[in-house]
């Protein structure tokens, strides 16, 4: 086992009220935009209400890239923050460097293993200890639609890619942009993995983007995935390069475009604009079976001092607590990581997401998003996305894309 330099042994004692040190926490995160900042403020307030002192360390930009650079500098200087927004394999990478704290005392006292889906709990554990706390579950494989545009054109939400293609062609003929999309690598990857899940199925997706199975990466089914991506490329408008995702969402809101394939953070844009699910906009999983998740979480780093260790214990307890899981996710557009939080105050899209997460968890098709850093380490996910983006923005054939995909993955290992 890798050496864990600090154990939050204060956790169980803190919960029992026996730790007298004032909880202190310096928290590094990249939630700096409107809805995100509002969401993290919920945790700050709850931390303060429980006697803690929070030092905020927001680092904007790059989907967390800038924050990771700041983190590495702090760790190398021997002055790591108390808690850091991390997710997926990045947690394991920091654990392997021997700098994460053990929060098992809190996790066991609060019964996390009983209320978190097993696959999601697995991301929060480093070998046999708990080293991170999950905040939420974002579903990635959503398709959003303008309800009026679909109704006025006699189109139902597609349940297969053939149906999607037929609807898109009909919309195009009517002068409506079928697919709102932003030409950024991560957005290309988001669409690609949704298409791949629908065509490869849950087992095929797992083999390709979790196991990196070469036979699957080079298969005829993968050629079909790239064929569908080529078709999708024909459904976006000429001005898509460089467009931010929220501007693509706005195109659906104002009726300029019909559909968007994007995670459920897009729902926050609709709701913030006063739009109602089922009336103004529609939500459904993209065609196919399975559920692709992106989980925000906080990892605790080695710190010295009872006050900082008490801060870690309090943070971990609050993050996975029912109240924060509810209030935070109502603001963020995601759903609670806990399976026992009431969704009575959530919207219909969140209820659908929760139901399908539970069904996928039971059926073995609850899968980590490769595009959002949950399934693979950076070198492998980057290699895949480079091929996806190159194909989407060129005349590269699907067969050539598959060959480049297999070679890129092999070279990244």
Work out the percent of the chain whose per-residue pLDDT is above 90.
Answer: 85
Residue 298 is assigned to a structural domain of this protein: yes
How far apart, in Å, are the Cα atoms of 323 and each of 105, 317, 408? 20, 11, 44
In 2-91, at which residue ranges do the beta strands (DSSP E only) sit? 6-7, 24-29, 53-58, 83-86
One domain for residues 145 and 118: no
One domain for residues 94 and 173: no
Strands 291-294 and 129-130: unpaired
One domain for residues 153 and 252: yes
What whole-number distance in Å separates Cα of residue 346 and Cα of residue 17? 33
Residue 80: name the closest of 96, 103, 98 by CA: 98
**What are the residues facing 261 on neighbouring strands?**
143
Q: What is the CA radius of gyration of the chain?
A: 22
Residue 256 is assigned to a structural domain of this protein: yes
What whole-number distance in Å separates Cα of residue 342 and Cα of residue 344? 6
One domain for residues 285 and 380: yes
Q: At what angle do helices 322-332 and 265-272 cross, to 10 degrees?
A: 70
- pTM (two decimals): 0.88
What whole-number distance in Å separates Cα of residue 146 and Cα of residue 280? 6
Q: Based on the structure, what is the number of domains in the chain?
A: 2
Overall average pLDDT of the 118-123 stretch? 93
Residue 91 is assigned to a structural domain of this protein: yes
66 SS3 class: helix
Domain edge (last residue) among 352, 376, 397: 352
Q: Between the CA atoms of 3, 136, 342 and 322, what dihedral angle is there, to the nearest 10 degrees?
A: 40
Contact 344, 280 (CB under 8 A): no
Residue 52 is assigned to a structural domain of this protein: yes
pLDDT in the model for residue 15: 44
The mean of the pLDDT values for the chain is 92
Residue 260: name the closest of 292, 237, 293, 227 by CA: 237
What is the domain range of residue 99? 6-138+294-352
How far apart, in Å, are the Cα atoms of 324 and each of 44, 289, 293, 321, 340? 10, 30, 20, 6, 13
Report whether pLDDT(260) > 80: yes
CA 113 to chain centre: 21
One domain for residues 340 and 390: no
CB atoms near residue 127 (< 10 Å): 10
One domain for residues 20 and 157: no
Residues constituting the chain = 413
Classify residue 310 by burial, with Cβ atoms within 10 Å: 0-12, 13-18, 19+.
Answer: buried
One domain for residues 305 and 261: no
DSSP codes joined into one string, 341-366 = S--TTS-HHHHHHHHHHHHHHHHT-E
Residue 145 is assigned to a structural domain of this protein: yes
Kindly state the tokens that stand for 195. Answer: 């298409």
One domain for residues 379 and 273: yes
394 SS3 class: coil
CATH number for the domain that contains residue 387: 3.40.190.10
Residue 257: name the closest of 160, 155, 144, 140 by CA: 144
Within 8 A by CB and 6+ apart from 218, the residues are 402, 403, 405, 406
One domain for residues 109 and 219: no
Q: Express each pLDDT in 329-351 by its tens digit.
A: 988 889 999 999 999 999 999 99
Overall average pLDDT of the 217-243 stretch? 98
pLDDT in the model for residue 17: 44
One domain for residues 282 and 158: yes
Domain edge (last residue) among 352, 375, 393: 352
Order of strands, sheet of 24-29, starting from the edge strand that comes earlier in the sequence = 53-58, 24-29, 83-86, 297-300, 132-134
Give 14's pLDDT tier (boundaries 50, 70, 90).
very low
What whole-number distance in Å separates Cα of residue 333 and Cα of residue 313? 26
Residue 163 is assigned to a structural domain of this protein: yes
pLDDT in the model for residue 274: 92
One domain for residues 189 and 63: no
Q: What DSSP state is assigned to residue 88?
A: T
Q: Express each pLDDT in 54-93 by its tens digit.
A: 999 999 865 677 898 999 999 999 999 999 999 999 999 9
170 SS3 class: helix
Kindly state the tokens that stand for 337. Answer: 């990581």
One domain for residues 69 and 32: yes
Residue 1 is assigned to a structural domain of this protein: no
State the first-to-last Cα distance of the chain, in angstroms, to the nearest integer: 23
Report whether pLDDT(1) > 50: no
pLDDT in the model for residue 330: 87
Contact 193, 141 (CB under 8 A): yes
Residue 286 is assigned to a structural domain of this protein: yes
């Amino acid at each position: 086992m890798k050496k864990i330099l600090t154990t939050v042994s204060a956790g169980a004692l803190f919960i029992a009220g026996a730790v007298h040190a004032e909880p202190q926490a310096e928290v590094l995160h990249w939630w700096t935009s409107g809805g995100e900042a509002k969401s993290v403020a919920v945790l700050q307030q709850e931390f303060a209400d429980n006697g803690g002192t929070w030092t905020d360390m927001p680092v904007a930009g790059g989907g967390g890239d800038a924050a990771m650079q700041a983190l590495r500098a702090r760790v190398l200087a021997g002055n790591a923050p108390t808690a850091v927004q991390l997710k997926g394999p990045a947690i394991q990478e920091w654990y392997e460097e021997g700098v994460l704290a053990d929060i098992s005392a809190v996790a066991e006292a609060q019964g996390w293993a009983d209320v978190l889906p097993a696959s999601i709990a697995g991301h929060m554990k480093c070998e046999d200890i708990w080293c991170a706390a999950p905040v939420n579950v974002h579903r990635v494989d959503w398709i959003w639609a303008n309800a009026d545009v679909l109704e006025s054109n006699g189109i139902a939400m597609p349940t297969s890619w053939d149906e999607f293609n037929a609807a898109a062609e009909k919309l195009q003929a009517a002068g409506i942009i079928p697919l709102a999309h932003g030409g950024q690598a991560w957005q290309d990857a988001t669409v690609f993995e949704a298409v791949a899940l629908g065509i490869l199925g849950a087992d095929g997706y797992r083999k390709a983007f979790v196991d990196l199975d070469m036979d699957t990466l080079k298969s005829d089914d993968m050629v079909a995935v790239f064929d569908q991506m080529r078709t999708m490329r024909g459904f976006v408008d000429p001005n898509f390069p460089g467009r931010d995702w929220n501007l693509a969402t706005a195109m659906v809101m104002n009726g300029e475009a019909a559909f968007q394939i994007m995670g459920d953070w897009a729902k926050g844009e609709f709701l913030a604009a006063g739009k109602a699910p089922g009336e103004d906009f529609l939500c459904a999983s993209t065609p196919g079976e399975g559920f692709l998740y992106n989980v925000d979480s906080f990892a605790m780093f080695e710190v010295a001092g009872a006050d900082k260790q008490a801060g870690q214990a309090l943070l971990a307890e609050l993050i996975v607590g029912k109240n924060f899981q509810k209030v935070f996710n109502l603001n963020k557009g995601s759903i609670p990581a806990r399976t026992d939080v009431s969704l009575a105050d959530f919207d219909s899209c969140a209820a659908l997401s929760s139901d399908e997460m539970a069904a996928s968890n039971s059926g073995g098709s609850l899968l980590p998003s490769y595009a959002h850093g949950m399934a693979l380490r950076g070198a492998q996910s980057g290699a895949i996305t480079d091929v996806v983006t190159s194909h989407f923005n060129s005349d590269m054939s699907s067969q050539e894309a598959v060959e480049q995909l297999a070679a890129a993955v092999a070279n990244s290992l």
